[in-house]
A and B are shown apart, each in its own frame.
Chain A
Amino acid sequence: MKELVRLTDVTKVYQGGITGALNGVSLAVEKGEFTAIMGPSGSGKSTMLNLVAGLDRPTSGSVSVSGTDLGKLGETGLARFRRDHIGFVFQFFYLLPNLTALENVLIPAQLKGDGSTGRGRELLEKLGIADVADRYPARLSGGQQQRVAVARALINNPTLLLADEPTGALDTHTGEQVMELLGDLHREGQTILLVTHDAKLATRHAARVISVMDGKIVDDARLASPERAPSEVIRMRSEEKLR
Chain B
Amino acid sequence: MRAVLVKTLADLRRRRLQAAVIFLTVLFAMAAGTTAVTLMSQTRDPYQIAFDKQRGAHLQVAFNATTDRQLMSNTPALIGASASGGPYPASNIQFRFGDRKFYVDAVGRDNPGGAVEVLSITSGRWPLANDEIVLTRSFSELNRISVGDRLKVTSVAQTPSLTVVGEVVDIDEGSADLSSQRAWMLPAALPALSTPDSSFYLMDYRFPTDPTSAQLQSSLDRLKTSLPAGSVAGSLNYLLIRSIFNITNQILTGVLVAFSVFALAATIAIVATLVTGIVISAYREIGIMRAIGFTPYQVVEVFALQIVIPALAACLVGVTAGTLASQPLLANSSHALGLAYTPTFSIGLDVLFLFGGLLVVAVAATVPALRAAQLKPIVAITKASAPRGAGGRLLRQGAARLRLPRPVVLGIGDAFARPLRAILTLVTVLLGVATIVVAVGLPRSFELINNSETGAGNYQVIVTRTSAYPDSEVMRLLNAQPQTARVVAVGGQNVIVPGVGDPVNTHLFRGDSSRLGYMVVAGRWYSAPGEVVAPAALIRDAHLKIGDSFTGTANGQPLQLRLVGETYDINNLGHSLFMDISTMASVTPAVEPFLYDITLMHGSDVSSYVRRVATAQPDLLDVRASDTSLIAPVKIIDLVLLILAGVLGLIGVGGVFNTLLLNTRERIRDTATLKSLGMSPRQVVVMVGASAGLLALVGGLAAMPLGLTLHHLLNDAISGSAGNDTPPAAYGVFAAWELTAIPLAGVVVAIAAAMIPGRWAARSNVVEVLHAE
Which residues of A are in contact with B by a Cβ distance under 8 Å? 50, 53, 55-56, 75-76, 79-80, 82-84, 86, 88, 90, 92, 94-99, 107-108, 110-113, 115, 136, 138, 152, 156
Contact = CB atoms under 8 A, between A and B. Distances in A.
A86 B413 CA distance: 26
A111 B678 contact: yes
B670 A97 contact: yes
Interface stretch (B332-340, B385-393, B561-569): B385-393
B448 to A, nearest CB: 49
Contact of A115 (B389, B403, B675, B770): B403
Contact of B389 (A55, A98, A156): A98
B64 interface: no
A126 B200 CA distance: 106
B159 interface: no
B683 interface: yes
B679 A111 contact: yes
A152 B677 contact: yes
A75 B680 contact: yes
Given A53-B676, A82-B677, 15 more contacts: A55-B675, A79-B681, A83-B677, A83-B678, A88-B676, A92-B773, A94-B669, A94-B670, A98-B389, A98-B391, A98-B396, A99-B396, A107-B406, A108-B678, A138-B390
**Interface core residue of B391, B403, B409 (most chain A CB under 10 Å):** B409
B417 interface: yes
Contact of B675 (A79, A90, A112): A79
A94 B392 contact: no
Given A79-B678, A79-B680, A107-B406, A94 B388 contact: no
A152 B680 CA distance: 17
Contacts of A95: 673
Nearest to B684: A79
B100 interface: no
A96 B670 CA distance: 6
Given A83-B677, A98-B392, A115-B403, A55 B417 contact: no
Nearest to A153: B677
Contacts of A86: 678
B475 to A, nearest CB: 78
Nearest to B671: A96
Contacts of A82: 676-678
B682 interface: yes
B674 interface: yes
A96 B678 contact: no
A107 B388 contact: no
A94 B406 contact: no
Residue from B406, B409, B762 whose CB has the most chain A CB atoms within 10 Å: B406
Chain B residues touching A, range:
35 or more
Contacts of A115: 403
Interface string B104-140: 0000000000000000000000000000000000000
Contact of B677 (A75, A107, A113): A107
A98 B417 contact: yes
B767 interface: yes
Contacts of A56: 765-767
Nearest to A88: B676
A82 B676 CA distance: 7
A98 to B, nearest CB: 5
Given A53-B676, A97-B670, A152-B677, A111 B773 contact: no
Interface in B361-379: none
A96 B678 CA distance: 14
B767 A55 contact: yes
Contacts of B413: 98
A84 B409 CA distance: 21
Contact of B682 (A76, A88, A98, A156): A76
Nearest to B765: A56
Leading 5 A-B pairs by shortest Cβ distance? A83-B678, A110-B406, A79-B680, A94-B673, A82-B678
A96 B673 contact: yes
B443 interface: no
Contacts, number: 84
B649 interface: no
B574 interface: no
B287 interface: no
A107 B670 CA distance: 12
A223 B169 CA distance: 107
B681 A75 contact: yes
Nearest to B390: A98
A93 to B, nearest CB: 9
A125 B40 CA distance: 72
A41 to B, nearest CB: 12
Contacts of A107: 406, 674, 677
A98 B393 contact: yes
Given A92-B773, A98-B413, A111 B677 contact: yes
A152 B414 CA distance: 21
A55 B766 contact: yes
A84 B677 CA distance: 10
Contacts of B669: 94
A108 B680 contact: no
- Which residue, of A55, A80, A156, has the highest number of chain B Cβ atoms within 10 A? A55
B407 interface: yes
Contacts of B773: 92
Nearest to A158: B678
Contacts of B767: 50, 55-56
Interface string B9-46: 00000000000000000000000000000000000000
Contacts of B670: 94, 96-97
Nearest to A156: B678
Nearest to B388: A97
Contact of B680 (A76, A99, A110): A76
A190 to B, nearest CB: 17
Contacts of B393: 98
29 contacts: A50-B766, A55-B676, A55-B767, A56-B766, A75-B762, A76-B681, A79-B675, A79-B681, A80-B680, A82-B676, A82-B678, A83-B678, A88-B677, A90-B676, A90-B770, A94-B670, A94-B676, A94-B770, A97-B388, A97-B390, A97-B670, A98-B388, A98-B389, A98-B414, A108-B677, A111-B406, A111-B677, A111-B680, A115-B403
A231 B391 CA distance: 51
A155 to B, nearest CB: 9
A108 B392 CA distance: 20
Contacts of A80: 678, 680
Contacts of A92: 773
Contacts of B388: 97-98
Nearest to B393: A98
- With a 10 A CB-CB cut-off, give which of B405, B417, B677 has the most chain A CB atoms: B677
A136 B390 contact: yes
Most B C-beta atoms less than 10 A away, residue of A75, A79, A84, A92:
A79
Contacts of A98: 388-393, 396, 413-414, 417
Nearest to B678: A83
Point out which of A95, A96, A152 has the most chain B C-beta atoms below 10 A from its C-beta.
Answer: A96
A157 to B, nearest CB: 13
A54 B393 CA distance: 31
Nearest to B392: A98
Interface string B741-768: 0000000000000000000001001110
Interface in B635-694: 669-670, 673-683
A156 B773 CA distance: 26
A50 B409 CA distance: 28
A124 to B, nearest CB: 17
Contacts of B407: 111
Q: Which of B403, B405, B669, B767 has the most CB of A within 10 A?
A: B767
A111 B414 CA distance: 17
Contacts of B683: 79, 111
A89 B215 CA distance: 89
A90 B770 CA distance: 9
A79 B676 CA distance: 8
Interface in B387-428: 387-393, 396, 403, 405-407, 409, 413-414, 417
